[in-house]
Structure 1
């Protein structure tokens, strides 16, 4: 597994952006807006390709703080276009989470991610589990046990179900933050 810190301030794709961190009970929210982009980012989503990074795009990360090391969990990032419209929801599946000394969230990546669309009314209508090949490679290389890989798949499927049912908790936290970022 690879420990990842959510910090886009020195991202080579972005020459200039802003970064704020907000702490609310049970979560830390990292809000990053890219103003000057060196390299845009387009990704596959089902049968189409979507842009998730360009001038004025905003990435908002909702990261739980209650899990700790060795605890299966997930963290949500939404990519918003310059008009504030959602382009993609992205959920990292992980095997541990926390906050670093700098106050930024980290997680022990389990490679699987769940991507979703987001329609008016905060409805998710399409989801995909991605990066299964990376998880399989980590199992082959001995970095992830087969049991942990199976648990990651179970968790990813649960996240998909909750997103489609409208019961995924971090999405509610994100909604409240986007509607009133100062609470």
Structure 2
């Protein structure tokens, strides 16, 4: 069974005071849902270790912008710190993206790519993908899809053509503007 992840992260108890905004963006460079989770208060910070690097991804004042692009097999979560600076882009390879009760979701297909704000690129969870294949959780076609998508994204990042990373601050501002204009009404 693949893990389904929802854009609103409503089941995440670590975030005790949150703001959530979502919208469907239809522009030349991007079509799909975008969600923004602002973490006003958390039970405790969360840091991830990438080798010898410790990267904080959850803290009061942080926010996560998540992209659910139409027709793609990936979802991107951009972590912003309390100063609005990108900490990392976390790219989940996924089987599919959908919407349930007006909240976007994706079915995680194990492989992940992390792009740190330093530009360092990491491929994660290859062993989880192998295990899922061996245990019959996924079949050969999903295994191949995961690797094909990951390899295409890695090549695109290397060439500098994975432009969605550059769009994250713009999309964050679109959601924040939508939220502030809704509050004024």
Question: Is the pair's TM-score, using the shorter chain for normalization, greater than 0.5?
Answer: yes
Query: Which has the larger share of helix?
Result: 2
Residue deviations 1:62-89 (CA, integer Å, cap 9, x gap):
111x32xxxx611111001100111110
Contact 1:9 1:17 in 2 (8 A): no
TM-score using structure 1 length: 0.85
The count of corresponding residues between Structure 1 and Structure 2 is: 172
Residue deviations 1:155-182 (CA, integer Å, cap 9, x gap):
1121122223332143243232135543
1:32 matched to which residue of 2? Answer: 37
Instruction: Determine the C-alpha separation between the residues in 1 that align with 2:32 and 2:163.
Output: 11
TM-score using structure 2 length: 0.84
Instruction: Determine the C-alpha separation between the residues in 1 that align with 2:46 and 2:80.
Output: 13
Residue 104 of structure 1: how far off its partner (Å): 1.3
Residue deviations 1:87-121 (CA, integer Å, cap 9, x gap):
11001101111111x221111211111101135xx
Instruction: Determine the C-alpha separation between the residues in 2 that align with 1:2 and 1:178.
Output: 26
Contact 1:98 1:106 in 2 (8 A): yes
Instruction: Determine the C-alpha separation between the residues in 1 that align with 2:57 and 2:134.
Output: 31
Q: RMSD of the TM alignment (CA)?
A: 1.9
| Alignment partner of 1:61 is 2:62 | no
Contact 2:24 2:32 in 1 (8 A): yes
Indicate the SS of the match to 2:77.
Answer: strand
Instruction: Determine the C-alpha separation between the residues in 1 that align with 2:9 and 2:142.
Output: 28
What residue ranges of structure 2 are gaps of 5+ in the alignment? Answer: 179-185
1:122 matched to which residue of 2? Answer: none
2:123 matched to which residue of 1? Answer: 129
Contact 1:126 1:164 in 2 (8 A): no
Matches within 5 A, 1:88-167: 88-100=88-100, 102-119=101-118, 125-167=119-161
